[in-house]
Amino acid sequence: MRFDEARLYLQGTTPEGDAFQEELQWDEIIRVCFRVGVYVLPDELYLLSEDQHKSYCVDTRVTGGAELFSECLRRNLLDARAACAVGEGEVIFGALRAKPPAK
């Protein structure tokens, strides 16, 4: 998992166990949610895109996961105060970003 100013580069497996590699542009993301893990379960970021087939769950323990969390805060996709105050098993929902109408 890595990213640059324009895109995220994701690789992993689907719930069915199929491997994938995907690119997602930052401006395709309409909402980011953060769930704090409980006990041995990891913290997770949910990246929701305008295309429902391109939405992802990212374990923050993977290489680049913590940096992705910080980048989501920097881009105001998540509220930093809410992220600091959330407790085990709780979820915070970033603001839903509306896409501008197509011209």
Q: By the 8 A CB rule, do 88 and 34 touch?
A: no
* CB neighbourhood size of 48 (10 A): 19
Residue type, 42: P
Question: What mean pLDDT is predicted for residues 43-48?
Answer: 88
pLDDT band at 14 (very low <50, low <70, confident <90, very high): confident
**Bigger pLDDT: 82 vs 27:** 27
Residue 34, Cβ density class (10 Å: 0-12 exposed, 13-18 middle, ≥19 buried): buried
**pLDDT confidence of residue 12:** 86
Beta carbons of 94 and 26 less than 8 angstroms apart: no
Confidence of residue 54 (pLDDT cuts 50, 70, 90): confident
**Dist. CA 20–CA 37, nearest whole Å:** 24
Q: Is the dihedral of CA 40, 14, 57, 67 positive or negative?
A: positive
Q: How confident is the model at residue 91, as a pLDDT?
A: 59
Q: What is the mean pLDDT of residues 58-66?
A: 89
Q: Give the Cα separation of 34 and 47 in Å (integer).
A: 9
